[in-house]
């Protein structure tokens, strides 16, 4: 039994004659046979535009002739004059074909009416358009540019100033998670900004302001309360005597705070007094407020360059053996995600650890049980004095976070409140450069303890002789 070889050639298994399909085998062009150009040429031949090219078996249909005709067809032909087109015989019309292409060509896309772009509302200025766009983008990604009067601001303070409705805890979370970019790089909360920097802000969930009208009587009460705390004031700055228990900034569950009360002192030009530094909620004493952005930037630079001198008073447990000393450690948060977490003494190189330096001096003591210590912090870390006092074995009385002395009882007549006072501050004036020296009085609970223990608040403070670095 013999078997037939497998078919070769075309789709029906037959090998085409050498001469019949030879022109297609030697095509000068590439691509599919049923291209748009082939279809156009076939249509032209059917209309009679090139009758000699209809028969592929004549001389005009040889491979060279086909290639030449294709090259000639590729060249653009000059458009005949109007008179010549009138004398030319009418072209032969091809029979209609059942196709949708002619109908589509009858109405090209360019003939369809296009909607005109909407113009901006009449009477709206460019600034109003930008403000409207900013309001629209309040829940999307934004790119902000640092202005000259914002130079030297911390990145978290920058966000708080730009977005007053954004809670400070949310600001810290944005920076901590790396969602913020400054010139394309991740930023830290204590990074400083320079004019012209680009700050990329992630989508924010802003608290919508309430529509209730503000009470004029309440604003007046807030303004009078803030003015009652002023220890020093001029056209550029003021120093407040912050009371015990009043927070400096808002947070979770904090409604009344210094930053919110300062809104009652907004001037006719819309300038609201600004915070320059912070104190713990239970720490009383000197708090510097800037009245302008330029003053805020200058005062902030004084703190960063350590040109500001601060002295704190505290009532501590026990009496230190060394009456005057120096505490140098590294501090890190126990819980990095908690803004008000307890600070612990860490080692150099630990994650989140920062160097902290404090000088201390004992001013007086009572019955070898309580000491009046004066502190001069060189650095400004969170809870630095409270953590350092506990580190040397003499925690501050009334400190709920760091006081851990066993079998220690609070003497009668002394309130269980944090006995820490920002007693004195000396800082160069933001405009003149001359030193501004201000001291705060003892808060009521510390004045009661000083009277009970027989401490004289006018006694010489040896901490002034401590080094500055």
Q: 380 vs 308, 309, 383, CA distance in Å?
A: 11, 11, 9
Contact 152, 304 (CB under 8 A): yes
Backbone phi, psi, residue 228, to 5°: -70, -15
Please choose, from the candidates 272, 277, 278, 244, the residue with its C-alpha nearest in 3D space to the C-alpha of residue 260: 272
Backbone angles phi, psi at 451, to 5 degrees: -65, -40
Pull the structure tokens for residue 432.
């003149």
Rounded CA separation 421/244 (Å) = 9
12, two tokens: 């029906």
d(CA 281, CA 245): 5
Separation CA 17–CA 88 (nearest Å): 41
What are 121-124's contacts with CB under 8 Å, separation 24+? none
Residue 319's closest CA among 385, 371, 241? 371
Find the catalytic residue in 280, 282, 399, 461: 280
Looking from the CA of 341 toward its CB, the CA atoms found within 13 Å total 13
Of 257, 99, 233, the closest CA to residue 164 belongs to 257
Active site residue 280: yes
Q: How far apart are CA 25 and CA 37, in angstroms?
A: 17
DSSP letter at 360 equals: E
Please give the torsion angle defined by the CA atoms of residues 350, 353, 359 and 362, in that order, rounded to the nearest 10 degrees.
Answer: -80
Sheet holding 198-201, edge to edge: 142-145, 198-201, 181-182, 185-186
Biggest CA pair distance of the chain: 130
CA distances from residue 109 to 98, 101, 102, 249, 372 in whole angstroms, order as listed: 22, 13, 13, 62, 89
What would the two tokens of residue 342 be? Answer: 């307890």
Q: Which residues are catalytic?
A: 280
């Amino acid at each position: 039994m013999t078997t037939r070889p497998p078919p070769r050639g075309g789709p029906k298994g037959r090998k085409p004659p050498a001469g019949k399909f030879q022109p297609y085998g030697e095509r000068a062009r590439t691509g599919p046979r049923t291209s748009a150009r082939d279809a156009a040429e076939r249509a032209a031949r059917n209309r009679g535009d090139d009758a000699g090219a209809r028969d592929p078996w004549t001389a005009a249909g040889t491979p060279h002739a086909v290639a030449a005709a294709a090259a000639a067809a590729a060249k653009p032909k000059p458009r005949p004059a109007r008179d010549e087109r009138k004398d030319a015989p009418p072209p032969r019309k091809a029979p209609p074909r059942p196709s949708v292409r002619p109908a589509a060509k009858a109405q090209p896309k360019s003939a369809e009416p296009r909607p005109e772009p909407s113009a901006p509302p009449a009477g709206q200025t460019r600034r109003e358009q930008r403000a409207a766009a900013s309001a629209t983008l309040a829940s999307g990604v934004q790119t902000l540019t640092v202005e000259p009067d914002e130079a030297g601001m911390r990145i978290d303070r920058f966000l708080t100033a730009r977005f007053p409705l954004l809670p400070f805890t949310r600001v810290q979370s944005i920076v901590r998670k790396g969602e913020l970019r400054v010139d394309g790089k991740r930023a830290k909360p204590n990074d400083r900004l320079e004019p012209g920097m680009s700050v990329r802000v992630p989508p924010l969930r802003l608290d919508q302001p309430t529509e209730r009208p503000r009470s004029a009587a309440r604003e007046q009460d807030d303004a009078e309360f803030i003015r009652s705390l002023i220890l020093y004031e001029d056209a550029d700055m003021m120093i407040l005597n912050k009371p015990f228990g009043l927070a400096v900034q808002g947070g979770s569950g904090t409604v009344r705070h210094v930053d919110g009360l300062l809104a009652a002192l907004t001037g006719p030009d819309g300038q609201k007094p600004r915070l320059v530094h912070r104190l713990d909620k239970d720490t009383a004493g000197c708090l510097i407020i800037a009245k302008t952005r330029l003053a805020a930037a200058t005062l902030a630079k004084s703190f960063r360059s350590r040109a500001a001198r601060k002295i704190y008073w505290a009532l501590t447990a026990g009496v230190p053996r060394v009456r005057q000393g120096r505490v140098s450690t590294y501090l890190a948060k126990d819980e990095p995600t908690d803004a008000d977490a307890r600070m612990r003494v860490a080692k150099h190189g630990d994650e989140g650890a920062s160097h902290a330096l404090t000088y201390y001096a004992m001013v007086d003591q009572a019955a070898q049980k309580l000491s009046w210590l004066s502190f001069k912090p060189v650095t400004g870390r969170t809870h630095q004095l409270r953590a350092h006092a506990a580190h040397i074995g003499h925690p501050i009385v009334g400190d709920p976070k760091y006081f851990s002395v066993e079998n220690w009882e609070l003497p009668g007549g002394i309130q269980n409140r944090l006995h820490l006072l920002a007693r004195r501050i000396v800082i160069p004036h933001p405009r003149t450069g001359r030193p501004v020296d201000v001291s705060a009085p003892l808060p009521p609970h510390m004045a009661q303890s000083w009277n009970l223990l027989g401490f004289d608040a006018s006694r010489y403070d040896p901490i002034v002789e401590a080094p500055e670095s």
